[in-house]
Amino acid sequence: MRIDYGKQKIFSKDISLTKKALKKPFLTQGKNVNLFEKKIQSFLKVKHSIVCNSGTSAIHLALSAIELKKNDIVLMPAINFIAAYNMSLSLGARVYLVDVNPITGQMMPENLLKVIKENRLKKIKVIITMYLGGAPENILSFYMIKKKFKCFLIEDSCHAFGSSYKINKKIYNIGSCTHSDISTFSFHPLKTITTGEGGAVTTNNSKIASKILLLRSHGLFRKNIKKYWDYQAKSIGFNYRLSDINCALGVSQMGSIQKIIKKRNKVVKLYKKKLLKLKKFISLPLYSKNIYSCCHLMLVSINFDKLKSNKEFFFDYMNKELIFPQQHYIPLFKVCKKKIDKKKFVNTLEFFKKSVSLPIFFSITTKQIDRVVNSIEKFIKINLRKNEKLF
Ligand SMILES: Cc1ncc(COP(=O)(O)O)c(C=O)c1O
C-alpha cells in the first residue's frame, strides 16, 4: 500500500459533529464560526482569532489589514511556500528573499540583517517569517529586528499550529502574537488539524482584528444588527468566510489537537532512532532546546555527494517502492524564475540539494516507518560510491 508524505486524521466524533452542523439552519455565518474562533483564541492565548477559508486568504487578510501597498518592502525566507510571496506581489509590494539556514531551511536573522544592509532598505513594511516544519526558531531575534526597523512582523505559522517556545522559563504559543503583530494558519488537510480547506489569523491588535473582520466579508458593515437589511461598505473586501460545516469540523478537531501533536512527536522520535544507523548519509535538523514543535514535517538531509545519485533518482526509487516523500520547498526564486545572485543564496541551494520530507501523519504505523527507512537504506546501498561503506 502506498505511503504518502502526509494524511489527515478524521475521528468518528468529527464526522458526527460535522453531520450535526449540516442539519443546522445556518450553514454559514452560524454559531460554529464563533465557537471555532473562541477555541483557537483560548488554545493559543491570544486576544483575537478570525477564521477564514484558507491559509492563503489568512495571509492576504493580514497583508491587507496592515495596508501593504505598491512598492512597499517585504522580506521573507527563500525556502517558502508560494502563498506569502504571491499575496505580497498581488498588492504591488517589492519582495526581498533572504537566505536560510542550510540545515533547518529557516530564515536566519543575520541574513535578514544582511539583506537589509546590502540593499540599504530604510522603510520596511513587513517581515514575514515561516517556521518550516513547525519548529519556531529565532523568535526573539526577529522580534528585536522588527523593533529596530519599526516594521510589522507577520508569522506565516501555517506549519506551526500547536508549536511553542520558551523564553526566560515562560512558554509562549505560536499564534499568541507575544513577539509578533499577526500570525496566520492553514487548516488544509495535511496541517496539524484540518477543516478541509481553512485558515485563521490571530493578533492582539484590536484595530487590525476589526479591519480583518470587515475584509473577510466584503467590507460590509451594519450599524444596527437588528436592521439586518441595512448595510454599507466601509472598505473594499472579499468573501473569505469559512462555512459552519468547516468550522464544526474545526471545533471537533481542536478536541484532538494534543493527541495529534503527541503522536507526531512520537513519530519523529521513532524516525530519529531508526535513521541513526544511516547517520553517515542522513542527518536531521537540530533545533534549539527552548522550542516545542508540532512536527508538521519530518525533514531530513541526505548527503547525495557521498552517493552515485541525486534527489531525482531518490524520489523515483522511493515512488517505485510506493513511498511518496515530498520537497519542502523548491527555492522561491527558482519556482518564480526570479533573478538572483546565487552567491547570496548558498545556504538555500545547499538546503534544497539535500532536504527531503519523509512521510509523517497521525495514523502512520511503526511498520510503515520501517518500510520508509528500509527503502532509504536500500537506495543508499545501491548507490554507494567506490570505497564508501554503508555503516
Ligand atoms: C507555509 C505555508 N504558508 C501558506 C500556506 C497556504 O495555506 P492554504 O493551502 O491553506 O492556502 C501553506 C499551505 O500549504 C503553507 O505551507
Can you give the pLDDT at residue 389? 85
| Number of domains the chain contains | 2
CA of 257 to the centre of ligand 1 (A): 19
Strands 220-221 and 94-98: unpaired
* Residues in the ligand 1 pocket, defined by CB under 6 Å: 54-56, 81, 83, 130, 156, 158-159, 186, 188, 199
**Ligand 1: which atom is nearest the Cα of residue 198?**
10
Report yes or no on 203 lying in a domain.
yes
Residue owning grid cell 499577526: 182
Question: Over the stretch 196-221, which tens digit does the pLDDT of each residue have?
Answer: 999 999 999 999 999 999 999 999 99
222 and 152 within one domain: yes
- The mean per-residue pLDDT over the stretch 3-28 comes to 97
Instruction: Of 357, 333, 360, 344, give the one whose Cα is nearest residue 285.
Output: 357
Asked if residue 153 is part of any domain, the answer here is yes
Whether 28 maps to a domain, the answer reads yes
> How far apart are the CA of 186 and the centre of ligand 1, in A?
6
Q: In this structure, are 307 and 221 located in the same domain?
A: no
- Please tell me whether residues 64 and 52 are part of one structural domain: yes
**141 and 282 inside one domain:** no
| Other C-beta atoms lying within 10 Å of the C-beta of residue 17 | 18
d(CA 361, CA 323): 13
Last residue of a domain, one of 230, 254, 278: 254
How high is the pLDDT of residue 390? 85
pLDDT at 308: 94
Domain assignment present for 322: yes
Range of weakest confidence among 113-117, 128-132, 224-228, 261-265: 224-228
Q: Which residues pair with residue 199 across a beta bridge?
A: 52, 186
Q: What is the mean pLDDT of the chain?
A: 97
Q: Tell me: do 93 and 21 sit in the same domain.
A: yes
* Residue 325 domain boundaries: 257-382
Question: How crowded is the C-beta side of 43, counted as CA atoms within 13 Å?
Answer: 22
Name the domain boundary from 226, 254, 282: 254
Q: Are residues 293 and 320 in the same domain?
A: yes
Kindly report, residue by residue over 270-319, the tens digit of the pLDDT.
999 999 999 999 999 999 999 999 999 999 999 999 999 999 999 999 99
Residues 51 and 78 in one domain: yes
Q: Is residue 391 part of a domain?
A: no
Domain annotation covers residue 388? no
315-346 pLDDT, tens per residue? 999 999 999 999 999 999 999 999 999 999 99
Ligand 1 atom at minimal distance to the Cα of residue 197: 10
Same domain, 216 and 161: yes
Domain end (from 228, 254, 280): 254
- Record the cell numbers describing residue 55, joined without a space: 491559509
* One domain, residues 272 and 369: yes
Q: What pLDDT sits at residue 72?
A: 98
Q: Give per-residue pLDDT as tens, 42-68.
A: 999 999 999 999 999 999 999 999 999
Say how far apart CA 362 and CA 345 lie, in whole Å. 35
Q: Report the distance separating Cα 182 and Cα 205, nearest Å.
A: 8
CATH number of the domain where residue 354 is located: 3.90.1150.10
Q: Are residues 218 and 276 in the same domain?
A: no
Please check whether residues 304 and 231 belong to one and the same domain.
no
According to the model, what pLDDT value does residue 14 have? 98
CATH number of residue 50's parent domain: 3.40.640.10
Residue 387 lies in a domain: no
Confidence of residue 265 (pLDDT cuts 50, 70, 90): very high
Residue nearest to atom 7 of ligand 1 (CA): 55
Residue 265 and residue 247 in one domain? no
Structural domain includes residue 275: yes
